[in-house]
């Protein structure tokens, strides 16, 4: 796989993250945040994140980026609901 082969990772941030030895979970979170901020507006972040996860996670079991990507996917996929609090009117 080439560094810039994924449309959702044009700068190769995820590619490089998976190649770094000794990378920490905190480093992975910083890289993920940088990736998310740099994602092209017209791309669907959920789709691109899923593609990146599918490409790298299986080949790199136990890598801390897997957990970060999985958390990102779960947060994107969870439905946000608005709850209204009822005010007690006595």
Q: Where are the domains of the chain?
A: 13-77
Q: What is the pLDDT of residue 59?
A: 92
**Are the C-beta atoms of 57 and 63 separated by less than 8 Å?**
yes
Maximal CA-CA distance, the chain: 66
- Amino acid 2: pLDDT: 64
pLDDT for 87 equals: 58
Q: Taking the model in full, what pTM does it have?
A: 0.77
Per-residue pLDDT of the chain (90 residues; tens, 9 = 90+): 666 789 999 999 999 999 999 999 999 999 999 999 999 999 999 999 999 999 999 899 999 999 999 999 987 665 544 555 555 555
């Amino acid at each position: 796989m080439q560094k810039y082969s994924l449309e959702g990772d044009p700068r190769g941030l995820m590619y490089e993250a998976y190649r770094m030895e000794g990378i920490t979970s905190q480093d992975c979170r910083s890289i993920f945040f940088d990736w998310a901020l740099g994602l092209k507006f017209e791309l669907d972040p959920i789709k691109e994140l899923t593609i990146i996860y599918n490409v790298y996670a299986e080949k790199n079991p136990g890598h801390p980026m897997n957990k970060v990507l999985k958390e990102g996917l779960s947060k994107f996929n969870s439905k946000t609901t608005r709850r209204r609090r009822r005010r007690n009117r006595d």
